[in-house]
């Protein structure tokens, strides 16, 4: 696999992980306010699938670093209060 193709695949997987996290966040704190547990669980399973693919491309350590990076960018720390 070429380096350029590998980079674009990693970028696409990173974007897919972002989308899963954002969907889960909207499910928790969006207009509905009371998302189904199954919906949020499905989003997190999607993150897991994308992580597995990243692990294949980058190795486990770099893949988990990337998932944590996306999580830290998109999910604010818990303060014990409901998020806006």
* Contact partners, residue 28, CB within 8 Å, separation at least 6: 35, 40, 83
pTM of the predicted protein model: 0.73
Mean pLDDT calculated for residue range 4-27:
89
Mean pLDDT calculated for residue range 11-35:
82
Domain boundaries, the chain: 3-74
pLDDT tens for residues 36-72? 778 888 999 999 999 999 999 999 999 999 999 999 9
| 29 vs 83 pLDDT, higher one | 29
What pLDDT does residue 52 have? 97
Rg (CA), the chain: 14
């Amino acid at each position: 696999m070429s380096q350029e193709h590998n980079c674009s695949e990693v970028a696409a997987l990173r974007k897919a992980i972002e989308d899963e996290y954002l969907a889960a966040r909207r499910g928790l704190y969006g207009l509905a306010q009371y998302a189904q547990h199954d919906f949020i669980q499905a989003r997190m399973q999607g993150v897991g699938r994308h992580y597995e693919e990243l692990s294949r491309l980058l190795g486990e350590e770099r893949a988990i670093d990337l998932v944590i990076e996306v999580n830290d960018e998109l999910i604010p720390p818990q303060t014990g209060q409901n998020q806006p």
